[in-house]
Amino acid sequence: MSKLVVVGSLNMDLVVRSPHLPRPGETILGRDFMTAPGGKGANQTVAAAKLGATVHMVGRVGGDNFGQALRANLRAANADDACVSTENSAATGIAIIEVEDSGQNTIVVAPGANAHVARADVDAARSIIVSSQALIAQLEIPLDTVWYALLVAREAEVLTILNPAPAQPLSTELLSLVDLLVPNESEAALLTGIEVHDDVSAEQAARQLHDRGARSVVITLGARGALALSDDKVWRIPPFRVKAIDATAAGDAFVGALATAYATQRDLDTALREASAAGALAATRLGAQPSLPTRAELDEFLKHASH
């Protein structure tokens, strides 16, 4: 069983469906409003926990009802919330998510307590980090905290996984602490200046990120699957055919499944197949964490799914 630690964000997602995404200045009528636990850190924590990993979450929530609900949701998924602290000077983070009928979405995040996650939180969880098989981080908490968490893990020879979302420029110093970098097309484009629109440009971006320090790079390509670079080998991961209705947590399902499989097996091919399947399954359901598959659901899907 994988033992993972996730240093990242916890948000309450406020989700509304609509026939299309509004243009600037346009007001449209939506449908099907729901609230659902989210935040990339919490999503990836729950994604891994639902697949059977032992997962510890490091982060902050506000002292409000949303914060209490997010803690309870982590525990309900069998994830450990002992290293999630309460930030009384800020509200729990929220994300306002609009999903159109095709499954595409727009997201606006108000970080709240996530903006207060600090080196002290990493230090408080140090014993858990150094005894884990992998550490997962994203970019919805302060960048200095992300760098410090990766450094603590690297010094303990713990596998480091970074999902660089939301996209922002990253230094070579930070990238050199990353064993497995998992951006999507737009994130890879911002990090490299290369517009990722096909396999050739995806490979160019992956090689640049590798040359800047990331040991292995996996660029997710949405409905076109993913492209991986490791040990100077480049290969495509074909997508699974599904009817997508909401892409909100597909990337988080991918990262959680990838970390769960790779931390124990160190077989990137197998891990990527499971990750691709988990992302596809998540895209067939509405919401962030409610869409994340269990181990039984993933195994059943892999038995019958086709690329």
What residues act catalytically?
A: 252
Give the containing element (helix H, strand E) for 233.
strand 233-237
Of residues 197, 217, 200, the one with CA closest to residue 209: 217
Query: DSSP assignment of 145-195, as one string?
Result: HHHHHHHHHHHTT-EEEE---S-----HHHHTT-SEE--BHHHHHHHHS--
Q: What angle do CA 40, 141, 166 make, to 5 degrees?
A: 55
Q: Name the β-bridge partners of 34.
A: 15
108 Cβ contact list (under 8 Å, min separation 6): 95, 96
- CA dist 173 and 193 (Å) reads 18
CB atoms within 10 A of CB 300: 13
DSSP assignment letter at 134: E
254 Cβ contact list (under 8 Å, min separation 6): 182, 220, 226, 275, 276, 278, 279
Query: Token pair for residue 147?
Result: 């760098």
Q: What angle do CA 207, 259, 298 make, to 5 degrees?
A: 115
Chain centroid, CA 297 distance in Å = 19
